Amino acid sequence: MKKRKRIAILTGGGDCPGINAVIRAVTKKAIIEYDIEVIGVKDGYEGLIENRYRKLEYNDVSNILTLGGTILGTTKKANPYHYAIGKGDRLEFRDLSRVVIKNIKKLKLSSLVCIGGDGTLGIAYQLFKDEIPIVGVPKTIDNDLKGTDITFGFDSAVSIATEGIDRVHTTAESHHRIMIVEVMGHHSGWIALYSGVAGGADIILIPEIPYDINRIAEVIKRREKKGKRFSIVVVSEGARPKGGKVVIQRIVEESTDPVRLGGIGFALGEKIEEFTEFDTRTVVMGHLQRGGSPTPFDRVLATHLGTRAVDMIIKKEFGYMVGVKGNSLVKVPLKIVAQGPKKVPLIHPLIKSARSLGTCFGD
């Protein structure tokens, strides 16, 4: 009797709306079309280090299309090539990649599907170079993966951020305040740009364009003279003033991404009050952008990406991520994805459109 093929799925990095939709798509297509056995690795690469996984049956992935988070769990602290052992002053790092490769080979996998951002897929590329058959799926609310026009989770995050902006708009106008909405975006300002434009922000600050507080104050004062006694400012957590630095909330040394940003909204609010004497309030969207049910767009995109990942496994197209170019799905070498975040081009058409409407980018 011919032995069934077996594949495994893991989800790494931060959680994101649409992950379960990908897990569902990969599992159902693998079982229905190819009678492939599917293994779910628990908590990302940590599950491969500690041999923690579960078999995924058809019924296990039914009714998870609309579910946020990931049924497999995830972590940002499990790079097998640089794995943290111990805590505090006793923290040390070890290369446990050989353990992971050994455990993968014991599972006798046809392929490992890695769902994640540049950190997770960067590790996937290293495993691929160590002769593990890998297919990647682009996951991040930040939309900052090279080689793809869009990632699933981005549309959901923009929708949530935009709703937040809409809600502070009315209180800003009622109380004649400057309202600052801080959104995620460590290295790239995609969420701030899209939600800021969608929410009608007067000022949008992104990491790609260092801001001048004098310019921001000038815009706010000019609006006040025109009878606009409030302003909406949308700022990426990774934005910084000209000649200044980002605001770091804390350092998590055992994490694959140790720097945790946060607080730029409050720092900016203090400066705006100092330079304008206008009442200022800050709202941090934070992890609200990661949680909850994915938008219909992200459900569709995640389903499309997941099913294409299975096609790539059947064709043995390993070492690639499924990417989006225009209206088509494409193969993107993991080597490109691992090169670092995709930033917002300064000539992006949406920046040009926003500027033409009078939106200030702090420069």
Domain with CATH 3.40.50.450 in the chain: 6-152+294-337
pTM for this structure?
A: 0.93
Is the pLDDT confidence value at 49 over 90?
yes
Question: Average pLDDT, stretch 21-30?
Answer: 98
pLDDT for residue 251: 67
Looking at residue 205, its pLDDT comes to: 97
3-30 mean pLDDT? 94
CA distance 153 to 303: 12
pLDDT of amino acid 1: 53
Angle of the 118-129 helix axis to the 97-107 helix axis, nearest 10 = 80
- Per residue in 176-201, pLDDT (tens digit) is 889 999 999 988 999 999 999 999 99
Architecture of domain 157-290: 3-Layer(aba) Sandwich (3.40)
* 65 vs 22: CA distance, rounded Å: 8
pLDDT in tens, 220-251: 999 998 988 889 999 999 999 998 887 777 66
According to CATH, where is 3.40.50.460 located in the chain?
157-290
Confidence grade of residue 252 (pLDDT, cut at 50, 70, 90): low
Q: 122-144 pLDDT, tens per residue?
A: 999 999 999 999 999 999 999 99
* Percent over 90 (pLDDT), the chain: 79
What's the rounded Cα separation, in Å, for the pair 201 and 193? 9
How confident is the model over 302-317, as pLDDT tens digits? 999 999 999 999 999 9
* Residue 248 neighbours by CB under 8 Å, 6+ apart: 259, 260, 261
Given a cut of 90, is residue 57 above it in pLDDT? yes
Q: In whole angstroms, how far apart are CA 8 and each of 23, 52, 201, 299, 328?
A: 10, 12, 43, 21, 25
Q: Are 276 and 220 in contact (CB under 8 A)?
A: yes
Q: Is 15 a catalytic residue?
A: no
How far is 136 from 322, CA to CA, in rounded Å?
Answer: 6
Domain 6-152+294-337 has CATH 3.40.50.450: yes
**Sheet strands side by side (includes 6-11):** 53-56, 37-41, 6-11, 111-116, 134-138, 320-325, 328-333
Confidence of residue 14 (pLDDT cuts 50, 70, 90): confident
Q: How far is CA 85 from CA 50, 77, 93, 102, 349, in A?
A: 13, 10, 6, 20, 46
Instruction: Choose the catalytic residue: 15, 43, 118, 142.
Output: 142
Which stretch of 19-23, 32-36, 215-219, 260-264 has the lowest confidence by average pLDDT?
260-264
